[in-house]
Amino acid sequence: MGFFKKKKPEEKSLYEDLKQTKLSLGGKIKKLFSRSNFDTEFYNELEEALVMADVSVETTMELIGLLKKQIEKQKGKITNKDSIQLLETIIESLLPENNFDVDEKKLNIIFVFGVNGVGKTTSIAKLANLLNEQGLSIIIAAADTYRAAAVEQLDIWSQRLGVHCIKHLGKSKPSAVIFDALDAALSRKSQVLIVDTAGRLHNKENLMDELKKLNKIIADKAPEANRYNLLVVDSNTGQNAVQQTKNFNESVGINGVFLSKMDSTAKGGIAVTLAHQMNIPVAFIGTGEKASDIRYFEKNIFVESIFE
Ligand SMILES: Nc1nc2c(ncn2[C@@H]2O[C@H](COP(=O)(O)OP(=O)(O)OP(=O)(O)O)[C@@H](O)[C@H]2O)c(=O)[nH]1
Ligand SMILES: [Mg+2]
């Protein structure tokens, strides 16, 4: 077990901030499973409830197929409580384990990207806060040089959290900021470098090429570092999140997803879709606008939070 998993505060409590999804999807499912027979109408309504909560049609069909098989095996002897439990276990089985960790003996570089306004900068502040609380030495890099306000936004967070921020005053290029940040992190023997980048549409080729270039600079300049490429996805995005994940993954490779704004959606199903269809784990969820509004994603707690 790595450093982060060992030091991570025990998080056995449910994700209270998912209450919208719990009320909407969880409530519908509970009502549905309180029926006495599992007929075609039951499966149709289950399908509708899952799809309405942003579980993709593909994932929904696989889920329902597996559930049907299990329920038929029990030949009508299954209790309602057990059948919800069955659904929970099947959803969990479709999700890859969270693989986020840091190696405290090395430099860990968390490269953060995603489309505009999804919550990248705020999520970086949350992550920096979480890792800072665990005693790791952290540098954050303001490599969104397109908007002056973006540098200022990250700088304000860094002052609030007491972590060092590498930034350029005046006009600069993201590659130049990343170069300086890598120099600083390597010479100070920092344990974590988190890189903020400008929001970019996943279908804009020139912007994706730029991201590729930045990714390569990091790989070339810090070949020994532990790398974690983190895509931030707004959980209100709907099925477009799948396409975003595909494109970013093709360009630079993604190790995990930060699902932001889970507090403001009733459609938590996108977490299941992304993890299942892309086989990329959800690493963290964002549950508000404060630095402490972050939860390390654990699939069993996530599923329980919605259905129990
Ligand atoms: N409710 C809620 N709001 C969030 C969360 N994460 C971010 N936000 C808000 O979303 C807005 C955009 O956040 P930013 O962090 O600036 O997003 P960004 O992706 O860096 O934006 P660009 O740099 O412009 O692409 C801000 O108002 C944040 O406070 C979250 O988990 N929950
Ligand atoms: Mg930003």
| 34, part of any domain | yes
Instruction: Give percent above pLDDT 90 in the chain.
Output: 75
Are 50 and 167 in a shared domain? no
Q: For residue 130, what are the CA distances in angstroms to 14, 185, 291?
A: 18, 19, 8
Whether residue 159 is contained in a domain is answered as yes
> What is the distance between the alpha carbons of residues 50 and 307, in angstroms, rounded to a whole number?
12
Atom 13 of ligand 1: nearest residue by CA position: 119
Token match 């990329």: residue? 280
The arithmetic mean of pLDDT across residues 71-79, rounded, is 80
Asked if 49 and 88 sit in the same domain, the reply is yes
Are residues 112 and 177 both part of a single domain?
yes
* Count of the separate structural domains present in the chain: 2
Are 120 and 90 in a shared domain? Answer: no
Task: Check if 145 has its Cβ closer than 6 Å to any atom of ligand 1.
Answer: no
**Ligand of minimum distance to the alpha carbon of 294:** 1
Bigger pLDDT: 74 vs 7:
74
Are 207 and 245 within one domain?
A: yes
Nearest protein Cα to ligand 1, atom 29: 289
pLDDT of 35: 81
Nearest-atom index, ligand 1, CA of 125: 15
**Strand residues in the chain grouped as ranges (E):** 108-113, 138-143, 164-166, 192-197, 226-234, 256-260, 282-286, 294-296
Atom of ligand 1 nearest to the CA of 287: 31
Residue 205 to residue 211: CA distance in whole angstroms: 10
Predicted confidence (pLDDT) at residue 11 exceeds the cutoff of 70? no
| Ligand 1 closest atom vs CA 114 | 19
| pLDDT for residue 195 | 98
Residue 86 resides in a domain? yes
Mean pLDDT of 18-34: 88
| Structure tokens that stand for 143 in this block | 């490599």
Q: Indicate the pLDDT class of residue 171, thresholds 50, 70 and 90.
A: confident
Structure-model confidence comparison of residues 24 and 7, the more confident one = 24
Same domain, 32 and 151: no
Looking at residue 91, what is its pLDDT?
A: 95
Q: Establish if 286 belongs to a structural domain.
A: no
Element housing 249 (H / E): helix 240-252
Instruction: Specify the pTM.
Output: 0.95
184 within a domain of the structure (yes/no) = yes
Q: Please determine, for residue 276, whether its predicted confidence score (pLDDT) is greater than 60.
A: yes
Given pLDDT bands bounded at 50, 70 and 90, which one contains residue 179?
Answer: very high
Residue 78 structural domain: 16-94
